[in-house]
Amino acid sequence: MNPSDATITSQILTISRSDRWLLSRRLEELHIPCTCHTDGTFSVEVATPLQLLQFWSVLQQMKASRSDLLDWLERCWQIRQ
């Protein structure tokens, strides 16, 4: 994909202050640019499909219940067998 062909979109999500901090730390580990603004909003810059997948995965892990995460892990193991 040519960078000039990229479409910029934005999504608004409600994330608690403590979750914003955890999200920020994890995205920094993945080298995905993000910013916690003084007004309480949080922005993320996703430049590649891989970054999008990583961001989605981090969000899923944060918002899913423990039982949902266990079910997901079980399905992953079933696929590998």
pLDDT at 3 over 60: no
Tens digit of each residue's pLDDT (9 = 90 or more) over 48-71: 999 999 999 999 888 889 999 899
Q: Looking up tokens 């997948």, which residue turns up?
A: 53
Distance (Å, rounded) from C-alpha 64 to C-alpha 59?
A: 8
Measured between alpha carbons, how far apart are the two ends of the chain, in Å?
35
Buried b (16+ CB within 10 A) or exposed e, 14-48: ebeeeebeebbebbeeeebebeeeeeeebebebee
pLDDT at 75 over 80: yes
SS3 44: strand
